[in-house]
């Protein structure tokens, strides 16, 4: 009987993944707008009541009637978030997914494995949540708390009145209601998304990967895993800075420079201690972190050499303190990476949640202009 159950489970698994391949194989640009979802990755493990699938990733696709852009965009949300970051805003305005589709892009929006519509299983790891006060201080009401010098410049959070950006503000309450539990071990998150991200690209083909915050590291590991399928990385305020915490702590983290888990270097690195980072004697400017870089001659990030990357920082986020360090590290490692401080291109007042703030479509226009100039 047990053997029969195992055979049936295997057959069901084959049916499930055949269905995924069929749905995921839908081709954009058939003359009609298309919208739907599928799952990639995942495996069955033995649960308390029988086989359970874990590690799968939910993927929502949105296609215009006519695709005019060469590569689709995969939008990957950050910590405690889901794909809703890209499908709308907490005050009901147009989100990036809809806007990019209007401009001719095929768009894939994911919920990371174990997040949102991608089911969690306890065997993968424990969960944590952000408190409302943490998000007020870091994302929505930073100007009042002033935990870093640039925080006072934050003006783009939507909402009105004395409660703007705080509990009791309807826009903030909608935003906080969207926050979910997440695995707080970054090495686990990177491993899950490396696997699922590779599975997604294997299904849809070459794409531009867009990341935000925690998924900055995920963009690097997906590109490391599938360098021939990642045509560019748009890193919105990515995890950083290299090797170190910043603003909220000075702990040593990300031993592989950009990540907690291994990246391919040339010459190869067996132990991340071989990277031997050194800190700048002087910061690149006022109110900026001193970056950690490799000693010369720097090893190259072997699989990222031909992938154009843009690291985007906003004017008032805590990332304004250190995102330049991420770009500097990529450049030193031979990667064609650029750094853009949005204020330098006339887009001012944004905090960390740039894709849902008042001028979100202006930022989207800038990103599309970068793609048009850079991605071939």
Catalytic residues: 213
Burial profile 115-149: b = 16 or more Cβ within 10 angstroms, e = fewer: bbebbbeeebbeeeebebeebbbbbbbbbeeeebe
335: left (phi over 0), alpha (psi -120 to 50) or beta: beta
Alpha-carbon gap, residue 89 to 105, rounded angstroms: 20
Residue 108 Cα distances to 51, 73, 152, 295, angstroms: 29, 6, 35, 39
Helix axes 186-204, 2-24, angle to 10 degrees: 60
Judge contact between 192 and 214, C-beta under 8 A: no
CA 148 from chain center: how many Å?
23
Q: How many CB atoms lie within 10 A of CB 332?
A: 20
Residue with tokens 């970054």: 186
Helix axes 215-225, 186-204, angle to 10 degrees: 50
Alpha-helical segments (H) within 226-359:
323-332
Residue with tokens 């809703």: 84
Alpha-carbon gap, residue 309 to 231, rounded angstroms: 9
Judge contact between 291 and 242, C-beta under 8 A: yes
Alpha-carbon gap, residue 96 to 31, rounded angstroms: 22
């Amino acid at each position: 009987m047990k053997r029969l159950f195992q055979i049936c489970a295997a057959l069901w698994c084959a049916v499930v993944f055949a269905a995924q391949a069929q749905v995921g194989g839908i081709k954009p640009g058939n003359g009609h707008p298309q919208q739907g979802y599928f799952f990639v990755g995942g495996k069955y493990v033995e649960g308390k009541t029988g086989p359970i699938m874990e590690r799968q990733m939910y993927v929502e696709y949105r296609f215009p009637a006519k695709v005019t852009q060469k590569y689709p965009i995969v939008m990957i949300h950050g910590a405690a978030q889901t794909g809703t970051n890209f499908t709308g805003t907490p005050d009901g305005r147009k989100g990036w997914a809809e806007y990019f589709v209007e401009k001719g892009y095929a768009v894939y929006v994911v919920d990371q494995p174990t997040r949102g519509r991608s089911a969690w299983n306890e065997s993968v790891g424990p969960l944590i949540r952000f408190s409302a006060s943490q998000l007020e201080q870091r994302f929505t009401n930073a100007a009042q708390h002033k935990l870093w010098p640039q925080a006072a410049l934050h003006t783009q959070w939507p909402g009105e009145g004395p409660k703007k950006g705080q509990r009791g503000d309807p826009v903030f309450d909608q935003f906080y209601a969207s926050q979910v539990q997440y695995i707080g071990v970054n090495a686990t998150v990177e491993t899950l998304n490396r696997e699922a991200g590779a599975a997604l690209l294997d299904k849809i083909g070459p794409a531009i990967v867009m990341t935000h915050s925690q998924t900055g590291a995920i963009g690097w590991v997906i590109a490391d895993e599938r360098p021939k399928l990642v045509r560019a990385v748009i890193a919105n305020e990515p995890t950083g800075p290299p090797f170190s915490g910043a603003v909220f702590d000075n702990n040593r983290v990300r031993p592989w420079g950009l990540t907690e888990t291994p990246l391919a270097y040339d010459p190869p690195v067996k132990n991340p201690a071989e990277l031997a980072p050194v800190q700048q004697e002087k910061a690149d400017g006022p109110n900026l972190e001193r970056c950690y870089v490799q000693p010369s001659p720097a090893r190259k990030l072997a699989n990222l050499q031909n992938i154009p990357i843009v690291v985007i920082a906003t004017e008032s986020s805590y990332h304004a303190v250190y995102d330049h360090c991420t770009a500097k590290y990529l450049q030193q490692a031979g990667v064609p990476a650029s750094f853009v401080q949005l204020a330098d291109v006339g887009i001012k007042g944004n905090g960390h949640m740039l894709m849902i703030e008042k001028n979100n479509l202006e930022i989207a226009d800038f990103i599309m202009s970068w793609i048009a100039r850079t991605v071939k």
